[in-house]
Amino acid sequence: MKNQLPLVYFHGVVPGKYVAAWPVFVVADNPDGLTFSVAVDDERHLRLLGRENESVSDVVEGARRAYVTSLVRVRLHQRAFRERVLQAYRHQCAFCRLRHEELLDAAHIVPDSDPDGEPVVHNGLSLCTLHHTAFDRQFLGLRPDYVIEVRPDILKEHDGPTLVHAIQALDGSRIVLPGTASLRPERELREMRDARFREAT
């Protein structure tokens, strides 16, 4: 902390998985409480400070670091949400059972822009990128009884095999659910999502 040397901070998102944040600086120390505070910085900014005639006031430096730190917190929060949701759904798409993790997302049942759209597992679904987008764009709905519903106008469309097999064929099928009941989508959230889907149809 005295020398302001950069560190790497490994943030645990789920057991055995970490996200590295770098560079991180110790900005406060509480020896009595055995705690310390860190702030994330911007690697590009560090390179700029290495140039001649660069000087930044402590106030500006502190505000900038606080901003960067808040951005990193959001990123870590999103990564933790994704890892927990994928783990709950056994690393497969809840709609089509695709198991390629690099093609899976954590989708919000109620969007995170909504006050009720918290990034918690029971407000999440593990979906492949195709079904995540279709779900967000209201091509696909989720009834409160965990049954997938395809928007009526999409069901009537005639297109290639992707639409037929990957979207239309899901109509009336039941989603894959987490084995742990407490991790399953909350009924209130499912009802809110279903009501929005009905408004869109």
pLDDT, tens digit, for every residue of 141-158? Answer: 999 999 999 999 999 999
The token duo for 63 is 């505000």
The ranges assigned to domains in the chain are 7-88, 101-200
| pTM, to two decimals | 0.72
Q: Report residue 57's pLDDT band, with 50, 70 and 90 as the boundaries.
A: low
Give the number of other Cβ atoms within 10 Å of residue 73's Cβ: 13
Categorize the per-residue pLDDT at 114 as very low, low, confident or very high, splitting at 50, 70 and 90. Answer: confident
Closest Cα partner for 119 from 38, 48, 13, 25? 13
What are the backbone dihedrals phi and psi of residue 84, each rounded to the nearest 5 degrees, phi first? Answer: -70, -40
